[in-house]
Amino acid sequence: MDLYNSVKQQNKILQEQTNQTQNQYSTDKQKIVYLYQNLEWYAFFSFILWCVYYFVCFFVLYFILFGSNSMETSVSYKVIVLGFFFFYPLFITPLENYLLNILKYIRDYFSGSIYTDLRNKTPPLSSNMIYSAPYGQT
């Protein structure tokens, strides 16, 4: 039993030294910094696009609901436009992912490459897809 504990202690010391060496000479931290900078840029760009989308929505809806021709516009048309602006973010992301997968499949089929699925793991119509957090906060 003493030999077992001795080997176990040596393995523990060896594992600690291996981890220490990996942490000291690894480039993982720099890779994380690089990836985080790219994600920050993407989140900021996404936030700006959402602001533009909301500005356009409010602008169009204001003129439809309160503009000079608002009395002439039918209620059903107003509801359809309002529904379009509300449901557009819910349906466009899964549709884009589906089209991207189809195009990637066609490209891989004709190039002879192995197809790997690019599926987004977020379930369709998830509220997490709609509102991305600004400045990289997820």
CA separation, residue 70 to residues 55, 82, 83, 105 (Å): 19, 14, 17, 47
Of all residues in the chain, what percent carry a pLDDT higher than 90? Answer: 4
- pLDDT reading at 122 higher than 60: no
For tokens 């379930």, name the residue: 123
Q: Which pLDDT belongs to residue 135?
A: 41
Q: What is the pLDDT of residue 134?
A: 46
Phi, psi of 59, rounded to the nearest 5 degrees: -65, -50
d(CA 92, CA 99): 10
User: Residue 121: is its pLDDT beyond 80?
Assistant: no
pTM, 2 dp: 0.48
User: Does the structure show a pLDDT above 70 at 66?
Assistant: yes
Residue of 108, 138, 137, 132 lying closest to 46 (CA atoms) = 132
